[in-house]
Structure 1
Amino acid sequence: MNTPARPPILLTMADYYGTLAAARSLGRLGIPITMAESKLLAPARWSRYVTRRVECPDVGDSDAFLEWLLRFGAKNPGHVLYPTSDDMAWLFALHKDELAPHFRMYQPGVDAIYGLLNKQRLHDLCKDVGLDVPETWFPENEADLERVAAEARFPVLLKPQTQILFESHVKGSQVERASELLPRHREFLERNRYGRKLLAYDARANRPMVQAFYPEAAQNIFSMSGFVDRSGEWFVARGALKVLQRPRKLGIGLCFEEVPVDTELAEKVRQLCKKLGYFGTFEVEFIRAGGRQLLIDFNPRFYSQMGFDIARGMPLPLFVYEAASGHEDRLGEVARAALEWKGAGQYIYCHRGIFELLLRAQGLSGRLSSNEVTHWREWYARNRERAVDAVIDTGDWVPWMVDVAMHLRSYARHPRGFIRTMVLDR
């Protein structure tokens, strides 16, 4: 009796490390991987586990990409489809009815996705289930902003309220004094643009928010990541502490340490998902400050350091794959195995190449003291045995070489950005 062929999965955004982790995790199981990408220098595109490569428009052009996706699905029906970015999570939800006839999807509705990706809506939902959030203001106009300037303790952060179709992709910036808030707010509105599709959905989405600044965010961001199924029966999670990011005050995670999951906090996250009707993979970030755990972000998609969780017995791409394929029995088996998994020591996650470059660059510039450089080198050496790298894999070397080339090209094209983030830590 022949075993039915496993359906392929279509992965996008091959320059994301979450995409690379998904390709390796599923490819090792013999699941066919179709990689859609417009860039040549994109690490996951060159993984040995990719069985088919197709050209597509850049995902930054959401209209063109969606048109391509629908054409591809019509010609190649039956692929599993799952998002790797906020843009894709929202677009897949918004166009779920058009995509579902062609793809196998495990996709919540657009209200659920937008409720998680819009910070104002997310904060309201958090209060309903008892999750704590940072002190945050959502000014509607300049009069509101003046009241915030009078009320807030400075410095504060000026941040976008959503990253969906956000053209500049900036995380936010620090405002030192009350007198700077209004001009910086005006500058934000002038310099940053959102895609018209999002503004048609929510015309107020382009208004930035003001959030209290917590120094603890530099080295004390807790991440809870995992999977919740449609029924809410299966909820699996892992914990990690972001110990180094670039820039260090407000930036992209570079190094993580394994930490236990707070069961009470996990139950509140489960209740948040249930209240909103969300199911699928997730990564939730909290600032640990003054004995409080303040939720700052909820990513309803594959995420950058997903390989860390795969290495710790939680194969999230397989969860999604089995759920989207309608294999509830297999999903249960995978979930039970993940719940029963026991590690054998301290696991860490590190993008080693960028880690080494940052230590050298900021050590030379004086942004990191010699003691700090020594601390980080000893941290890695102490945990090397169970270190998970963002890119390096002894059985799949080409993505690492492409990743090096990708970063060298980026730094050559944008030397000021390299100096600002990697040397001056700004």
Structure 2
Amino acid sequence: MPGKLVEKAVVLVSGGETLGGLAAVRALRAVGHQPWVAVHDPRGYAARSRAAAGVVRVPDPSEDGPSFVRALVDAAAAIPASIVMPGNEPALVALAAGADRFPPGVVVAACPPDVVERAIDKAQLANLAADAGLTVPSTAHLSLSTFARGLPFPYPVVVKPVRSDLEGPGGASRHYSARRAESPDDLREALAALPNARALVQPFLPGPIGSLAGVFWQGEMVVVVQSRGDRIWPPHCGSMTWAVTVPLDERLSSRMGHLLRAIGWNGLFQADFVEHAGRCFLIDLNPRLYTSMAITTHAGANLPAIWVDLLRGAPPRVDRRYAVGVGYRHDEDDIRALFRMFVHGPRIAALRGLVPRRRTVHAVFSIRDPMPLLTSAGKLFRLASARLRRAQPTRAEILQKPGPQPYRRKT
């Protein structure tokens, strides 16, 4: 990993509620920068991290983008910060639209709005990726009105929103994930759950998930790391919960560069692939901080720090030879993936997955930075409480059951 900096940069990182935000804050602190965290929820992972130089409260960008930008403008001036880094898709969209509101001397780590739109539009992604020589699954554009036409491929299928974050009836945006549909009824239900009832539908391709992550700048791939995930959560259409870095596929990396060049992208990125029938199919592009980013830092490629160097016009400290065989574990979701594996098989693999491994970085747990575990504990407590409430019958359900009835006062 690169050594300490002589000149520190003060970086204001939004999205401190996410694991990507936590990974970015830890990575920036590791090389001597001063990362501040912007959160709308003070219980966020990065807000509790000792790596954070400070915390500022801001509106939720998914609910009020302009107010979010105004709050960051004020925070950047008050700290003062020299770089503002978006932590999720709503923040990226808001900052791309409001970058000109920041005073001189503050660099906003967001591409122009038209570039951001191309990067997050999954419908455009399929066409641009195919033109770049990447393999993409067959894709059908479907809505409830065109549902009756059927599909050119069999079930099961994957239903994807046209963008990861979509605006709902109240004006606020909400994150929507891909989901698997086993039948026409499942597909109709998935379409109806989306605000615009439109989606991209692709055949479900079983296989391990792969990842390419790096920094692309001015038409060149500055650094890229490849990893392979053996477990995901949720099942079928989830994110990597256990992964390991693998040798770089230079051909795949080159084609990924062609795609990013066509988009006009500058900055950090992560792409998901599924390995199926001996081929790598591109299934998603995340032009932002992402959940499993800790693995690249642990492998020797500090993507947030490299991005900051480029934003400041400094030569990036890059070692293109990242470490192969570095592991990553998502503390919260991997135990769920292992439990499901133990129930449905193979059980031996599930038990082996419980064994700690050397050279493994965790998404949350860190001996040097333990406090973000409180966020994990809070999430698990709220999840368990919600399930318990759903499991308890309501009074109406009790009254409908045959047998002894609860005491009622006579009238």
Range into which the TM-score falls when normalised by the shorter chain: 0.7 to 0.9
Change (3 A) 1:5 1:185: closer
Which structure 2 residues correspond to residues 290-369 of structure 1 after superposition, within 5 A? Answer: 290-327=277-314, 329=315, 331=316, 334-335=317-318, 338-341=319-322, 343=323, 346-356=325-335, 358-360=337-339, 362=340, 367-369=343-345
| 1:163 shift after superposition | 1.1
- State the percentage of identical aligned residues: 23
Given that 1:92 and 1:99 are in contact with CA atoms closer than 8 Å, whether structure 2 keeps it comes out as no
| 1:4 shift after superposition | 8.0
| 1:305 shift after superposition | 0.8
| 1:358 shift after superposition | 4.9
Q: Which stretch of structure 1 is more off in the superposition, 50-59 or 269-278?
A: 50-59
Q: Which stretch of structure 1 is more off in the superposition, 312-321 or 107-116?
A: 107-116
Q: Secondary structure at the match of 1:313?
A: coil
Based on CA coordinates, which of the two structures has the bigger radius of gyration? 2
Which structure 2 residues correspond to residues 26-425 of structure 1 after superposition, within 5 A? Answer: 26-63=28-65, 64-99=67-102, 101=104, 103-139=106-142, 142=145, 144-147=146-149, 149-165=150-166, 167-178=173-184, 181=187, 183-184=188-189, 187-188=192-193, 192-193=194-195, 207-216=198-207, 220-232=208-220, 234-327=221-314, 329=315, 331=316, 334-335=317-318, 338-341=319-322, 343=323, 346-356=325-335, 358-360=337-339, 362=340, 367-369=343-345, 371-372=346-347, 374-381=348-355, 384-413=357-386
Q: Secondary structure at the match of 2:136?
A: coil
Given that 1:13 and 1:59 are in contact with CA atoms closer than 8 Å, whether structure 2 keeps it comes out as no
Give the TM-score taking structure 2 as reference length.
0.84
Deviation sequence 1:258-282 (CA, Å, 0-9, x none)? 2222111100111111122111111
Deviation sequence 1:315-356 (CA, Å, 0-9, x none)? 0110111112221x2x1xx12xx2144x3x622111235433
| 1:237 shift after superposition | 1.0
Give unpaired runs (5+ residues) of structure 2: 168-172, 392-411
The residue that corresponds to 2:405 in the other structure is none
Taking the aligned partners of 2:390 and 2:283, their CA distance within structure 1 comes to 25
Figure out how many residues of one structure are paired with residues of the other and give that number: 381
**Structure with the bigger percentage of helix:** 1
Given that 2:233 and 2:336 are in contact with CA atoms closer than 8 Å, whether structure 1 keeps it comes out as no
Give unpaired runs (5+ residues) of structure 1: 194-204, 419-426
Q: Secondary structure at the match of 1:384?
A: coil
| 1:41 shift after superposition | 1.9
Given that 2:166 and 2:174 are in contact with CA atoms closer than 8 Å, whether structure 1 keeps it comes out as no
Taking the aligned partners of 1:187 and 1:125, their CA distance within structure 2 comes to 28
Given that 2:12 and 2:76 are in contact with CA atoms closer than 8 Å, whether structure 1 keeps it comes out as no
The residue that corresponds to 2:397 in the other structure is none
Q: Secondary structure at the match of 1:208?
A: strand
